[in-house]
Structures are given as C-alpha cells and as structure tokens.
Amino acid sequence: MSTLYLVATPIGNLEDISARALRVLREVNLIAAEDTRHSGKLLKHFEIQTKLTSYYDHNKSQKLEKVLAALDNGDVALISDAGTPGLNDPGYLLVRAALEAGHKVSPIPGPSAPIAALVASGLPTDKFLYMGYLPRKSHERQQFIKAVADHSYTLIFLESPHRLQPALEDLHKVLGPRQAAVASELTKMYEDIQRGTLDELSAYFENEPARGEFTLVVSGASQEKGRWSKAQLLNWLQDELNDDAKPSSLARQLAKDSGWPRREVYDLITELQKDQKES
C-alpha cells in the first residue's frame, strides 16, 4: 500500500524545512495542501513541480475520496499553510481514512508554532496542554478557560490579532496574574515574544498593535492552592451567583476552593444577592 506523508513546512523562515521534507515533496505523486496559492510559492521557491491539490476545512468532504484514490496509485504528501499538518486543520480526518483503507501514515517532523513558543516561553515544559484557538465570544471564552483553570499543566492557546487583547483580559479574569508568554512572527524577521503576568501582557497589548497569528503560553495552576485575591473571588461570584443559590452551602464549598474564611464568603454572597434583588 502507498504512504501518506505528513510533511511539516516552515512557519516563517524557509531555512527551517528539512532535507527529508524536500525529498518527499519531490518524490510523491500528489501534494494535498491547505492553500494551494500559499503552498505554490513554497514549492516554486524550492523548484518542486509535484502536482498540487487543495484539501482544507470547507472542501474536506468532497476532496477526501479524491485524495484516497490518489493514494491507491502512489504516495501522497499532506501539508498545511505553515507548520505541522493535522493540528487545527482537517488533516486528522484524512489520516484516519488512510489508516482505515490500509495505507501507511508517516510523519515528517519539523516546525510547529505551539512547540516553538512553549520551549522559548521560560515556563515549565515537562507537562503541557494544547488547547488550540480560544472561542470568539467572551462568555464562551471564559467558560473554556475555567474548564482547564485547575490543571497544573502549562497551557497553550492560539489567537488572532484582533482578539488578542480581549483574550488576555479574560485569561487574567479567570486565572489571575499567572506568568505567561505571547509569541508572534516566530522564526521571521520581526519575531517577538513578550513575557510577564497576564495583567501586564493585557496592558501591553492594549497600546501595542497586534500583528500576525499569536501563540499564548500560560503557566499552570500551582500544586499548592493559595488564597484567591478578592478580585478573583468577586469575579467568580458575579459570574456564577444566582438568586437560587443557598448562601450557606455555597459559602462552605467556595471557602474550601478559595482559601477565604467561610463567614467572609457568606457575607459577600448575601451582599451580592441583596444587590441583585434591588437592581
């Protein structure tokens, strides 16, 4: 059976492509690319004349069978716009289908923005959790972040430039002043990695134009639970508190999670519920 090669391509600097990747791209019968115009420039630069076809999120259903048919007649390479295919693109569907059809799947490793940002962040790299793009809307984004807030793993997110600053605000609101790094234009001339606490980074990008795609690396939760700040406690209550909540039982559980005395939490709950009723 033929082989489907998953070929990592440069995320910026063309010198990062491997000799093996270039050889495979020249030898396969077909290259399936996320954007043929973008990938066509890469192939032209390296004088690769292999036939190119598109395979991306909006045409994956129509193209899947065509790519599988091509695999029946010879080897195929899958590439993304930049980096390692199969991350945040429909590559996994093709991989699964190729395996089910009895083909071999072989990765050609190389550039990856999440891994590059992680190792340069200055944060722990022994355990990490890659979460892809954050949700677009603030409420959904906060819920998404809360789902991983207690993990001790270093967290990795992707974000677009026009949503970067609101995303940093929401990360700070949910996670507090954790250490983080924001990376953009990796391996390019204007490569930039900003490091600091989430509130510092949010303030920085409030006045700094955001360009390019961003990778956010955020430290995980401390194994030793410390006391929440008052701002964190109030933010949690304002987001989650409702009229049906029983102050006593909620205060007991929240005191355990936040490190605050149960009586102080109880007083805050009753005060907020009173304000909610009056408004």
CATH, residue 95: 3.40.1010.10
Q: What is the mean predicted confidence (pLDDT) over 81-98?
A: 92
To the nearest 10°, the Cα dihedral for 116, 117, 118, 121? 130
Distance from the Cα of residue 217 to its chain's centroid: 9
Which of 88, 111, 134 is the last residue in one of the domains? Answer: 111
Same domain as 204, residue 269: no
Number of other CB atoms surrounding residue 73 within 10 Å: 10
The reply to whether 224 falls in a domain is: no
Same domain as 143, residue 237: no
Same domain as 165, residue 137: yes
pLDDT at 228: 78
The whole-angstrom separation of Cα 221 and Cα 219 is 7
pLDDT at 279: 67
The CATH number of whichever domain residue 168 belongs to comes to 3.30.950.10
Q: Which domain holds residue 126?
A: 114-218
The reply to whether 223 falls in a domain is: no
Same domain as 118, residue 105: no
Same domain as 103, residue 78: yes
Same domain as 90, residue 189: no
User: Which two structure tokens, joined as six digits, stand for 50?
Assistant: 């292999």
pLDDT at 225: 56
| pTM score above 0.95 | no
Q: What is the mean predicted confidence (pLDDT) over 152-163?
A: 95
* pLDDT class of 223 with cuts at 50, 70, 90: low
Task: Please state which of the ranges 22-36, 81-95, 105-119, 235-249 shows the lowest mean pLDDT.
Answer: 235-249
DSSP 64-77: HHHHHHHHTTS-EE
* pLDDT higher than threshold 90 for residue 246: no
Which of 218, 248, 269 is the last residue in one of the domains? Answer: 218
Same domain as 273, residue 238: yes
* pLDDT higher than threshold 90 for residue 18: yes
**Which of residues 250 and 171 earns the better pLDDT score?**
171
Same domain as 203, residue 123: yes
Asked whether the beta carbons of 90 and 45 are under 8 A apart, the reply is no
Give the tens place of pLDDT for each residue, 62-88: 899 999 999 999 999 999 999 999 888
Same domain as 198, residue 118: yes
pLDDT at 226: 67
The whole-angstrom separation of Cα 116 and Cα 11 is 10
The reply to whether 235 falls in a domain is: yes
* pLDDT higher than threshold 60 for residue 262: yes
Which of 81, 111, 141 is the last residue in one of the domains? Answer: 111
The number of domains in the chain is: 3
Same domain as 128, residue 97: no
The reply to whether 212 falls in a domain is: yes
The reply to whether 172 falls in a domain is: yes
Q: What is the mean predicted confidence (pLDDT) over 120-135?
A: 96
Same domain as 104, residue 14: yes
